[in-house]
Amino acid sequence: MNDNLTAERATFVTHLECSLTGERYDADTLHNLSRAGRPLLVRYDLGGVAAALSRDALDARGTDLWRWRELLPVRHTNNVVSLGEVETPLIPIPKSGGANVWVKDEGRLPTGSFKARGLVMAVAMAKELGVTRIAMPTNGNAGAALAAYATRVGIETIVFCPDDTPEVNVREIAAQGGRVWRVNGLIDDCGAIVAKGAAEGRWFDFSTLKEPYRIEGKKTMGLELAAQLGWRLPRAIFYPTGGGTGLIGMWKAFDELEALGWIGSERPRMYAVQAAGCAPIVRAFEAGEEHAERWEDAHTVAAGIRVPRAVGDFLILRAVRESGGKALAVGDPAILAAVDDAARRDGLLMCPEGGATLAAYRQALRDGEVDEDEEVVLFNCATGLKYPLPAADQRLDRHGAIDFDRL
C-alpha cells in the first residue's frame, strides 16, 4: 500500500457548510445541495491539522494525491480508492507561451484527465457513506473517471452524455463498466434526467457540485501547485471553466494553506476561461452579476467547457473578483491555433480546453492584463490523445523511387 495511506485515522473534518448561507450540516450524512439549493463545502479543524502535520513532514511523503490526507475528507483508509493519482508536472512552453509560462498537465492522471481528482474523492466518500448506485451527466471525461473508480469499489453507475460527446469518451465509459446513454441535448439537459431519477430514489446524483466532495479532490491542484513552487503561488492562473469545480477548489485550498501558515496572503489572479460559444460566466462577470443566466445554443470544439449553466456560478465569480482576475472568452479558431502551436513548437499535445487557456493567455497579454515577465500557470485538463487529431495521410511506396530531397 502507498505509504501515504498506511495510517488509519479520524478525519479533521468538522462539518459541511452551505456556500451561500453558511448553514452547518453533519459531515457523516449523505447530502446533495444545501436547503438553499447551493453547494456544500467541507470544513476542517485546521488548527488540528497544523498540530498534526508540519510542512517538512509533508515534503517527506510521496508526491501522490493522498499525501494530503489530513486535508481530505475520507475518514478511514479502507474506504480510499486509487488508480495511481500522481502529482502532475509543470511543463514550460517557452516557444508557444513564453519564458514564464508553465502548463500543469493534468492529462497524466488516471483516465487521462483532471476529472480523476474530483471523482476519486467523491467515489471514496460515496463508498464510505453507503452509496450503491450513482448517476451523472457528463461531457465525457468526468463520466470516464466515475466509471473507473466506481467499478473499482463495486458501485453501479449510469452516465448520460450529449449525443455529440467525443466517441472515445463514450466508449471509455462503457469499457470501464458504466452504463452510458447518449442524449439529444446539452449537459444540463442530461442533468435534468439525473435529477428526476434521483428525486424518484433511483440513484444518487453525482452532478458537478451537487455533492460536497469533488471540490475536495479538485482542490489538490492548488495544494500541489503551492508545493511544486516552493510554497509560493504564481502571479496568475488560467483555468478552463465549465462547472468551475477546480477553480473553486483551488481558491479554497489557498485559504486552507494560509490558515496552516504554509503560504502567505498573496494570491494569484484567477482567470476563468470559457469558449466564446458558451460563456455564461464571462457574460455575468462583465455585467457585474453574482449569478450567470443559462447560455442558449451553446457550441464549441472544447466540449469539456460547454456548460450552459453552473450551479457554483457565484463561487466562480467570487474567486475571480476577489483575486483581481477576470473571466475571458476565446473563439474556437484561437483555441485550435493554440493547440496546434503548443504541439508543433513545444511538443506538448493539449486538449481543446487546455488550448483555450493558452489562447486566453495570449489575449490577456495583448490586452495588458498580464505582463510577459509574470509567472503564469495554465491548466491542461486532459490528454490531447482523447480528441480528434488532424489527418496525417502522406504515404510512401517502398517499391518505387524515393525522392529523399522531398522527404
**Contact by Cβ (8 Å): 121, 68:** no
Determine, yes or no, domain membership for 126: yes
User: Which set of grid coordinates corresponds to residue 90?
Assistant: 509543470
At residue 5, the pLDDT reads 59
**Residue pLDDT, tens place only, 333-364:** 999 999 999 999 999 999 999 999 999 999 99
Task: Give the pLDDT band of residue 9 (cuts 50, 70, 90).
Answer: low
Q: Which of 97, 98, 99, 121 is nearest to 109 (CA)?
A: 121
Is there a domain that residue 246 lies in? yes
Give start and end residues of each alpha helix (H) in 154-292: 167-175, 187-199, 214-218, 220-228, 245-260, 280-287
Select from 215, 400, 396 the least CA-distant residue to 315: 215
Question: Which stretch of 80-84, 251-255, 274-278, 387-391 has the lowest confidence by average pLDDT?
Answer: 387-391
**pLDDT > 90 fraction of the chain, expressed in percent and rounded:** 94
Which structural domain, as residue segments, surrounds residue 96?
90-110+214-386
Whether 249 contacts 388, CB under 8 Å: no
Mean pLDDT calculated for residue range 45-53:
96
Residue 8's pLDDT is 52
Quick check: is 286 in a domain? yes
Same domain, 230 and 344: yes
Query: Do 310 and 345 sit in the same domain of this protein?
Result: yes
CA proximity to 137, closest of 64, 80, 210, 49: 210
Same domain, 375 and 271: yes
Position 256 in a domain? yes
Judge whether 341 lies within some domain: yes
Give yes or no: residues 312 and 166 share one domain: no
Pick from 235, 281, 277: which is nearest to 374 by CA?
235
> Alpha helices of 113-201 — where are they, by DSSP H?
115-128, 141-153, 167-175, 187-199
Could you give the number of structural domains in the chain? Answer: 2
Q: What count of Cα atoms within 13 Å lies in the side-chain half-sphere of residue 261?
A: 9
Q: Which cell goes with 306?
A: 460547454
Q: Is residue 19 part of a domain?
A: no
Both 355 and 324 in one domain: the answer is yes
CA–chain centroid gap for 63, Å, is 19
Whether 3 has a pLDDT exceeding 90, the answer reads no
Asked if 234 and 187 sit in the same domain, the reply is no
Tell whether the model's pLDDT for residue 4 goes beyond 90.
Answer: no
Q: Is the same domain home to 317 and 250?
A: yes
pLDDT of residue 390: 87
Residue 395, in any domain of the structure: no
Predicted local distance difference test score (pLDDT) of residue 176: 96
Higher pLDDT, 302 or 11: 302
Q: Is residue 27 part of a domain?
A: no
Q: State yes or no: pLDDT of 300 exceeds 60.
A: yes
Provide the percentage of residues in the chain whose pLDDT is more than 70.
Answer: 98
Rounded-to-integer distance, Cα 4 and Cα 67, Å? 5
Q: Residue 184 corresponds to which cell in the numbers above?
A: 439529444
Q: What is the mean pLDDT of residues 145-174?
A: 96
Do 111 and 144 touch, CB atoms closer than 8 A? yes
Quickly state the pLDDT bin for 1 (edges 50, 70, 90).
very low
Query: For residue 196, what pLDDT is reported?
Result: 97
Cβ atoms of 155 and 132 within 8 Å: the answer is yes
Q: Quickly tell me which residue has 457554483 as its cell.
A: 312
List the grid coordinates of 294: 443559462
Contact by Cβ (8 Å): 283, 310: no
Residue pair 271/327 in contact by the 8 Å Cβ criterion: yes
Same domain, 96 and 175: no
- pLDDT, averaged across the chain: 95
The reply to whether 102 and 139 lie within a common domain is: no
What CATH number corresponds to the domain at position 247?
Answer: 3.40.50.1100
Q: Are 304 and 333 found together in one domain?
A: yes
Q: Are 245 and 325 members of one domain?
A: yes
pLDDT at 41: 97
How long is the chain?
Answer: 407
Same domain, yes or no, for 219 and 305?
yes
* Reported confidence tier of residue 11, pLDDT bands at 50, 70, 90: confident
